[in-house]
């Protein structure tokens, strides 16, 4: 049986996207790009109302409808109240972007129960409850779930264990949602971002070292920006990515692609010692 290609797979006109953490950083860039593709927005934020109103106004200027919801999604009651407002507002969800995140920095041996729980409540429990709560709307016509993750779910950063491990768990959750909910016409994927120049970089012990490392080791030669990740996340929200199901797209500009031994030589070795031996392998 032939399945003809969609005529305009990038268009989101007539759809509503709910974006958690959608008013700042990567979330805000995602929201703006979803609006540019024709979607109306439900933007969920925790407490910075002035910033949220500013983001909403920027999107409304493009002609899109925006519903703002303030809620603390670390608490199950906050998730419940969010969906109560959705039901009394736009009452539609076709695209769900799980972007809200939180984490505490520290090594394993110094990690306390409260810090660990806070990371997992926000990065694993909350996305699960949010996706479950959105399911009745997503099942109406089929839908898309896109989660933002981190390269720290695939490799190790210093003092990043709570965030990295909880995001790895979230990526596993997304795969299970994709597997179990495909029968409803729902796709689910995540995008794992390398270091991006947002306020989250300041959580690291040496933020400037992260910036220098990323610019030097990444093949793009610069720090990632929110729009770099937003473009990928929004693509995952459209029919342009219809054949991508249950995947985590690693977006790190080649940071971990390979090892450049020249860097090690420059930093540690007097090259003159090897001048006479240079040449091809026998």
pLDDT at 213: 87
> Mean of the per-residue pLDDT values for the chain?
92
Q: Is the pLDDT of residue 27 over 80?
A: yes
pLDDT of 25 > 70? The answer is yes
pLDDT computed for residue 14 by the predictor: 97
Do 177 and 130 form a contact (C-beta atoms < 8 A)? no
pLDDT digits (tens, 9 = 90+) for 248-260: 999 999 998 987 7
- Gap between the Cα atoms of 130 and 69, Å rounded: 14
How does pLDDT run across 161-174, given as a tens digit for each residue? 999 999 999 999 99
Q: Which domains does the chain have, with CATH numbers?
A: 16-273 (3.40.50.720)
Instruction: Categorize the per-residue pLDDT at 204 as very low, low, confident or very high, splitting at 50, 70 and 90.
Output: confident
pLDDT at 187: 98
Residue 265 has pLDDT above 70, yes or no: no
The pLDDT value recorded for residue 8 is 95
Residue 193: pLDDT band with limits 50, 70, 90: very high
Confidence at residue 112, expressed as pLDDT on a 0 to 100 scale? 93
Confidence of residue 176 (pLDDT cuts 50, 70, 90): very high
User: Would you state the pLDDT for residue 28?
Assistant: 97
The token pair that represents 81 in the structure block: 């109240």
Where is pLDDT greater, at 233 or 204? 233
Q: Say yes or no to pLDDT of 102 above 50.
A: yes
> Who wins on pLDDT, 83 or 3?
83
- pLDDT at residue 282 greater than cutoff 50: no
How many other C-beta atoms lie within 10 A of the C-beta of residue 99? 25
Report which of residues 273 and 69 the model is more confident about: 69
Measured CA to CA, the distance from residue 169 to residue 177 in angstroms comes to: 12
Residue with the bigger pLDDT between 67 and 199: it is 67
């Amino acid at each position: 049986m032939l399945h003809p290609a969609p005529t305009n797979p990038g268009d989101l006109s007539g759809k509503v996207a709910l974006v958690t953490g959608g008013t700042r950083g990567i979330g805000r860039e995602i929201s703006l790009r979803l609006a540019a593709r024709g979607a109306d927005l439900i933007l969920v934020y925790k407490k910075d109302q002035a910033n949220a109103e500013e983001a909403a106004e920027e999107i409304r200027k493009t002609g899109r409808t925006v519903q703002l919801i303030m809620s603390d999604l670390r608490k199950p009651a906050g998730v419940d109240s969010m969906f109560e407002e959705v039901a009394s507002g736009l009452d539609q969800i076709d695209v769900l972007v799980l972007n809200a995140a939180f984490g505490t920095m520290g090594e394993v041996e110094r990690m306390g129960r409260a810090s660990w729980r806070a990371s997992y409540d926000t990065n694993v429990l909350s996305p699960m409850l949010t996706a479950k709560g959105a399911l009745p709307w997503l099942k109406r016509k089929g839908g898309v779930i896109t989660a933002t993750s981190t390269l720290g779910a695939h490799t190790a950063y210093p003092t990043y264990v709570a965030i990295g491990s909880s995001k790895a768990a979230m990526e596993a959750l997304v795969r299970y949602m994709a597997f179990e909910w495909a029968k409803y016409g729902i796709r689910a994927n995540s995008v794992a971002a390398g270091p991006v120049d947002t306020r989250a970089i300041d959580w690291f012990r040496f933020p400037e070292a992260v910036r220098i490392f990323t610019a030097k080791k990444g093949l793009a030669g610069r720090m990632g920006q929110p729009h770099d990740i937003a473009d990928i996340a929004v693509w995952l929200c459209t029919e342009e990515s219809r054949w991508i199901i249950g995947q985590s797209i690693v977006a790190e500009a080649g940071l971990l692609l390979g090892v450049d031994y020249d860097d090690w030589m420059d930093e540690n070795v007097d090259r003159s010692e090897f001048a006479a031996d240079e040449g091809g392998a026998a």
